[in-house]
Structure 1
Amino acid sequence: MDKGIAISFIISTYNWPEALELSLHSISHQTILPSEIIIADDGSDKRTETVIQKFASQTSIPVFHMWHEDNGFRKAIILNKAIQKARYDYIIQIDGDIIVDKHFIEDHLNAMEEGCFIRGTRANLSASMSTDILAKKKISFNHKIKLIAKQMPNALRLPLSIASLCTRKEQSGKKVKGCNMSFWRKDLLAVNGYNSLLQGWGHEDEELSWRLVNNGISKKIIKFSAIAYHIYHKQLPRTQEPSHCIILQRIIQEKTTWTNEGITSKITPL
């Protein structure tokens, strides 16, 4: 595996600058740094811009802020703009409420493989610990970490020789979360990226994953590596989930690979 490959690192965010600040600093402490960082901002206010500008002034990594007007949950649209902006062949993607272990990029590169996209896991921090780390601006944790029940395996990083034994491939797009994924950019372009019709919370990452699988790209599941800590927050409204599930089922049944409302789309926001 060539660890010298250039990486475009995409972070999606919306109006939580305190969490984004920790996420960005965790990226700057990686054993292998990305070649660029692209923030896919779904309409945050000026507080987020201030955090990004401050971080950009303190790092040698090129930082790009992709933003559009706040008109509801339109994460798929802004992620497509970030993918368009990406200059490099391999993309690693997280959400702005994720703090990554210092080996995160290294682990994704170890798992990187032609014909595959990577699906990692996340360790959900408890509400009390999330409050503490936001107040103290912590990006590294010890054995006293507090997680939501049964999450400890997701916070355990094992040596590559052991973790690789738990790696498996599936021809399925299910159980995917965009907070810990990586792709070949060419594979995302081949299916036209995210489906911009999925506006509102729910399944935009899974819908994309199914189209990748339908197009011959395997989902590669990694465990005990690429550790990602999820800062606790209340669940977002899920009013659009039923309609998104209908779209998702159609993608699965019809083995669809392409969305007309993706990276090249000129969709008018709802």
Structure 2
Amino acid sequence: MKTFTKTSLIISTYNWPEALRLCLLSVREQSVLPDEVIIADDGSTGQTAEVIEAMRPLLPVRLLHVWQEDEGFQLSKIRNKAIATSSCDYIIQIDGDLVLHRHFIKDHLRLSKRGTFVAGSRVLMSRELSDTMLRAQKPGVSPFQPGLGNFSNRFSISWLSRYMADRYKTHDIFALRGCNMAFWREDLLRVNGYNEMFHAWGREDNEIAVRLINAGLKKRAAKFGGVAFHIYHAEADRGGCRENEVYLTDALLNKTVYCNQGLHQYLHNAEPARLTENEFAL
């Protein structure tokens, strides 16, 4: 597949180096590689840095590690720092607990379209399958193997993906997962990226989607494309979700486009052309 779009793959992570390594191995197997990979690390210990350094020579693209101090759940902040570090036009965003289908990047690039952002989904893996894959550190997943949920999300079918992109839940802001989204970088700059008022799990992805839509963008769906398999783990603490619902409701009611505490505060610190592969940015 030929493409002239330069692509950053941003992978958020926190203290799960085994999952991150498996995720990076699945990136290495992509039929179309991103131009750079940026690890958005929300305060992990040195074990995660060691995995990244060990994986660096195995990946044929630039691998950057953007790290911040562990001050509790700060996903919006570390994503903003990673976006500021990006040197590419198009940003595909995932979490480090995903194993990517080999056409994941290719599918997302096929769906990329000016004036839109893309929201994908995931396939849940059972605890048993997840444990097996983490031990083996082999990223291949068959869509028919035992231990997978979400049957219709398992398949990459290019013609069906194109058909569904502008038809599947295009107006539903809750039909998206922050672990599988893609944006034009200029659009993220326009809305000031993620809202850093979010200090707990939940709704930061819906809120940025609302602001992008308020800015005039349309949501496309990665259905039957952009397939990602989610490694099992216990659910996150949802204690802060009620406060986050308030921020989301505010963006909906006030037709908010630009958040005050967001991406632009990092841009003067991040000159992508000057970063090296061994630099811990920001």
- Asked if these proteins are the same fold (TM beyond 0.5), I'd say yes
Helix, strand or coil: the match of 1:12? strand
Partner of 1:192: 192
* Displacement after TM superposition at 1:265 (Å): 4.0
Aligned-pair identity in percent equals: 40
* Displacement after TM superposition at 1:172 (Å): 4.7
- Total equivalences in the alignment: 263
Structure 1 residues 214 and 2: CA distance shift in structure 2, 3 A: farther
Partner of 1:163: 161
* Displacement after TM superposition at 1:70 (Å): 0.5
Partner of 1:78: 78
Deviation string 1:169-198 (CA, Å, 9 cap, x unpaired) is: 524533221111110000000000000010
Q: Structure 2 matches for 1:1-270, cutoff 5 A?
A: 3-142=3-142, 143-148=144-149, 151-158=150-157, 160-168=158-166, 170-265=170-265
Aligned residue identity for 1:168: D
Contact 2:32 2:106 in 1 (8 A): yes
Aligned residue identity for 2:207: E
Aligned Cα root-mean-square deviation (Å): 1.4
The CA distance in 2 between the partners of 1:86 and 1:236, in whole Å, is 28
* Displacement after TM superposition at 1:127 (Å): 1.1
Deviation string 1:59-81 (CA, Å, 9 cap, x unpaired) is: 23111100001010001000000
Deviation string 1:136-167 (CA, Å, 9 cap, x unpaired) is: 1121122214124xx11111222x22332222
Contact 2:25 2:138 in 1 (8 A): no
Aligned residue identity for 1:55: M
Unpaired runs of at least 5, structure 1? none
Structure 1 residues 114 and 27: CA distance shift in structure 2, 3 A: same
* Displacement after TM superposition at 1:222 (Å): 2.1
Deviation string 1:29-65 (CA, Å, 9 cap, x unpaired) is: 1111111100000000011000000111222311110
* Dislocated runs of 4+, deviation >4 Å: none
The CA distance in 1 between the partners of 2:160 and 2:60, in whole Å, is 34
Helix, strand or coil: the match of 2:117? strand
Aligned residue identity for 1:134: L
